Amino acid sequence: MSSFHLIAPSGYCINQAAARRGVSRLEASGHQVTNQQVISRRHQRFAGTEAERLADINGPCPTAGRKSDL
């Protein structure tokens, strides 16, 4: 099983229905999809505040003692 961590470092998702269909399709294929809240998140014209978007980018980065395929 693969794992997908969604990020939204820039603009907000303008077609949320399509994004949710994509997530559903991945999950139906047995994949894990994390950080799905980015689909509906919006702050002004962005996909969240600067702190939220930075956390999206840094979230999947490996840390000591944690394995990653990145």
Is 25 part of any domain? yes
pLDDT in tens, 32-56: 999 999 999 999 999 999 999 998 8
Is 44 part of any domain? yes
Query: Which residues form the domain of 27?
Result: 3-58
Sorting pLDDT into bands at 50, 70 and 90, what band is 67? low
Cβ atoms of 30 and 63 closer than 8 Å: no
Is 63 part of any domain? no
Is 19 part of any domain? yes
* Buried/exposed code over 56-66 (b: 16+ C-beta within 10 A; e: otherwise): beeebeeeeee
Total domains, the chain: 1
